[in-house]
Amino acid sequence: MLARCESSRAAYHRRAPDGVRVLVNIREALLDCLADADLVIGAILVSTWDTPAMITEADLRLMRVGAVIVDATCGYGATCVLILAESHITVSTWPEHQLAHIDVFTCRADTRPSRAIQPILDQLAGQVTHTQNVPRTPPGSLLPLEGLDERPA
């Protein structure tokens, strides 16, 4: 657990169950925790005020394969990140607008991200209103782009 200052850290530490580390939220402590974490929960990716997000996209690369972030920004939906080796899936929700954004980034140019999106849509009882496919095929690649239709069936 990361607290905003030493007095908060001490108060949380007294109440924390055995085995829970409580640290002051400084950048180095956050990065150390990210490298060891299987699950990160907090208001950390989406800022509700004029403060920057606590965890950057570059920070995600420090996390273990399969680690999950659940952004629990109160009243404003949630963001969940699943890291899969050099790929990731991000789901951000805005319930007040009945909106979700699903981002699938894959390290392989021959995969179909729509296969990952459809089960998420099924869970959210949602539908696609806009898609964008950014091909990762490098110039001069022999991989064909046709047949990699990203629109759900």
Pairing verdict, β 79-84 and 87-94 = antiparallel
Taking alpha carbons only, the member of 74, 70, 112 closest to residue 92 is 70
- Among 82, 66, 96, 86, smallest CA distance to 136 is for 86
Q: What is the pLDDT of residues 5-51, one digit of tens each?
A: 899 889 988 988 888 888 888 888 888 888 888 877 765 665 555 55
Per-residue pLDDT at 142 exceeds 80: no
User: pLDDT higher for 43 or 88?
Assistant: 88
* pLDDT exceeds 50 at position 65: yes
pLDDT digits (tens, 9 = 90+) for 121-141: 887 788 888 888 776 666 666
CATH 3.30.160.750 assigned to domain 38-153? The reply is: yes
Provide CATH 3.30.160.750 ranges for the chain: 38-153
pTM of the model: 0.46
pLDDT at residue 152 in the model: 47
Mean pLDDT is lowest, of 34-38, 60-64, 93-97, for: 93-97
